[in-house]
A and B are shown apart, each in its own frame.
Chain A
């Protein structure tokens, strides 16, 4: 009988695994993600493998960036501490699978909102935290100052698994230019290959170009061409099927943008509680029941503003002061000539 002991043990193990999985999938209830997050004590957030200004880790492993701040805002709202976030660096190729398979709960990784991504693959985009567009970078010495100078046979380095690959084809095709696409899996390798001279141009979102430029051997030798060839609204993404979680992430982002609109900053948030403006009071949890629908307390938005700051503070800290894109361009409030416009918190 001992002969079969080994088979028997493995069989028992298999059956045990089977039951473990069954009970987990049966526990699916309405806001499973919120419940799990509160139980774990941290927000699971998918970010890039290092894009200065958006999501980048320093030598000590501290993540900073505007994409990172969205996850921190959610952590401040649901857990009360903006630092309770576990960041998972993901390649462009891995990101959606990581989200749909449940490895992360928010994907905040300079991801373009498109119809097919929103509708096809089990994802929901909750908003836009950066309005971007695809551009080209070339070496200054090449003398190219506009995409109209591109000629047949040009080679272009980029990332795989991005909208960039598709836009690039549309762009070159519509101009009848033959080109050589060289697509890498990781951004660092794209930069290394372009920097070495493998490609004549490097194409990705303009914010990405500006950020990666800071990583080059000699940033001054490269320029970003003025043309923008596509619309790239970047924003956080959640899994389809948990609308409460989706709302929490959406309104965490909206709170940051609206706080800037009403002049609420991390420094003055507490004093705003006594403001005369009811809209401001709602944004700092001093009026109405703004958290109940999410299953949160009333000061969830106050914590976001106090711990992470409003959108303007986040932009200044991560993108403007680091010299990546000092000019806010379209990412300015609608009241100041930009296109940042969010529905009201009321």
Chain B
């Protein structure tokens, strides 16, 4: 033990200062709340919420508890984040690669998209997509059917609902296909490594994932029917679609604006990642006779991914946190339902804000851990 006071002194002082400041704020809050007759406690979570929510993934109405309302908000936040992340990733990768395209038009178009969408504040984009789209979309009675069964209207997107018979058999057939594909892939890799034989893995995989579920229909007794949304009149000029599944326009506008905005940043990550792989690598790979596809798949992408993943993780986190802007356009996310309505009805500001903060923190850390795990998996493994 040969550390000196001057080494740990400043750190010790900082820790004490932080503890003091936090302790002081907690104490001050307690004293002030007591003076104003505000109770502190989380007991309200089990009380009846008595307000309804527009859109929920789990069964919920006002007779459920505030905790249930919290779950509704949380799930809606996760839903829009997941949709946003998937769309943003797909769009981001396409645009990122397009920015490297030798085709002048594609290249410039991608560059324009990136510069345009990432330089306009997100809240404005959300308002634009919501209110512009609302004004542009037809009323339910005027909507043109898409593929004859879906309707995009000012009150949302109405699509047919799937009604399954023997859904579990269908599910198992897909599960079996996935397991078979994994086994074949492992086997193909072994073949490649030991005997240098190439197996058409992709073709076999596609075949399996198509044929097995098809068999479940033919001999497994699986039946699929659709419940098509039907126009219903509420009043002289007021209509709604009944039956099927409806997606509120708030969700569509929010997912769209979040993914269009975040995709610009992901596109730049992808472009930087691909450009970060040395030119010599590609030339060397080509010189040992790999096809251009193999060069991309076996040489460029594995190296580019290592550059792409860490900054993309940041973008995923940003998207999740930005989804809290939902409150502006009535999408019932965690902030609107829990830190909004529930906070107002109970007045438990400190409790609810602390739970909300902790929830976003947990969400961010989960995404971060997942992406770090993936990053580690694709990192250079020294043999």
Contact = CB atoms under 8 A, between A and B. Distances in A.
B340 A185 contact: yes
Contacts of A180: 54, 248
A256 B54 CA distance: 42
Given A97-B349, A100-B38, A182-B330, A139 B237 contact: yes
Interface string A92-130: 110011001000000000000000110011100000000
Contacts of A185: 327-328, 336, 340
Contacts of A162: 344
A145 B54 CA distance: 25
Contact of B51 (A14, A18, A22, A169): A169
Contacts of A196: 131, 134-135, 154
Given A93-B340, A93-B344, A121-B38, A25 B32 contact: yes
Nearest to B349: A97
Nearest to B249: A198
B344 A161 contact: yes
A26 B148 CA distance: 71
B227 interface: no
A173 interface: yes
Contacts, number: 157
B155 A142 contact: no
Contact of A100 (B13, B36, B54, B332): B36
Contacts of B249: 198
A181 B39 CA distance: 30
Interface in A167-205: 168-169, 173, 179-186, 189, 192-193, 196-198, 200
Given A120-B346, A184-B330, A25 B31 contact: yes
Interface in B54-99: 54, 61-62
A51 B258 CA distance: 32
B234 A7 contact: no
Contact of A141 (B236, B240, B330): B236
Contacts of A93: 340, 343-344
A328 B36 CA distance: 36
Interface residues of A, number: 61
B36 A151 contact: no
Contact of B336 (A122, A144, A183): A183
Contacts of B24: 18, 21-22
A186 B349 CA distance: 19
Contact of A11 (B13, B39, B51): B13
A168 B250 CA distance: 21
Contact of B330 (A8, A28, A183): A183
B238 interface: yes
A92 B344 contact: yes
A15 B17 contact: yes
B174 to A, nearest CB: 34
A151 B234 contact: yes
A79 to B, nearest CB: 25
B341 A161 contact: yes
A166 B344 CA distance: 11
Contacts of A8: 10
A183 B38 contact: no
B55 to A, nearest CB: 8
B366 interface: no
A189 B328 contact: yes
Interface in A128-172: 138-139, 141-144, 149-151, 153-155, 157, 160-162, 165-166, 168-169
A196 B138 CA distance: 10
Interface in A193-242: 193, 196-198, 200, 239-241
Interface of A: 4, 7-8, 11, 14-15, 17-18, 21-22, 25, 28, 92-93, 96-97, 100, 116-117, 120-122, 138-139, 141-144, 149-151, 153-155, 157, 160-162, 165-166, 168-169, 173, 179-186, 189, 192-193, 196-198, 200, 239-241
Interface of B: 9-10, 13-14, 17, 20-21, 24, 28, 31-33, 35-39, 50-54, 61-62, 131, 134-135, 139, 154-155, 232, 234-238, 240, 242, 248-250, 327-330, 332, 336, 340-341, 343-347, 349
Given A189-B328, A239-B36, 9 more contacts: A11-B14, A121-B347, A143-B235, A143-B237, A160-B340, A162-B344, A183-B330, A197-B154, A198-B249
Q: Which 8 A-B pairs have the closest CB atoms?
A: A121-B347, A161-B344, A143-B236, A122-B36, A142-B235, A122-B38, A153-B240, A196-B134
14 contacts: A8-B10, A11-B13, A21-B28, A93-B344, A120-B347, A122-B37, A122-B347, A150-B234, A157-B330, A169-B51, A180-B248, A184-B329, A241-B36, A241-B37
